[in-house]
Amino acid sequence: MLNETEKAYFKALLAIKEMDYSGAAGFFRFAENQFADAPEFRILKETTELLIAVKEEIFEIENERIEIEEILSDGQETEFR
């Protein structure tokens, strides 16, 4: 039978499979104490956190571009990309 941290690790893997990276990061944080010395665990955990950071940065850049286009349009119709 699996303990709670092992279940969290497997739930993190399932969350990654379902592309729920924020959920996976939460499960990884819960399981970190038990698996912190396992290289494959650290790689998965850190890669997931990096992916989240990159996705957030891309989202912010895209929103900034939309705001700039709206300001520059000077009341005209704005083209969103």
The predicted-structure confidence for 19-77, as pLDDT tens digits, reads as follows 999 999 999 999 999 998 999 999 999 999 999 999 999 988 887 776 666 665 555 55
Going from the C-alpha of 61 to that of each of 2, 20, 53, 69, the distances in angstroms are: 42, 21, 12, 12
Burial (CB count within 10 angstroms: exposed 0-12, middle 13-18, buried 19+), residue 32: middle
Q: State the pTM of this model.
A: 0.72
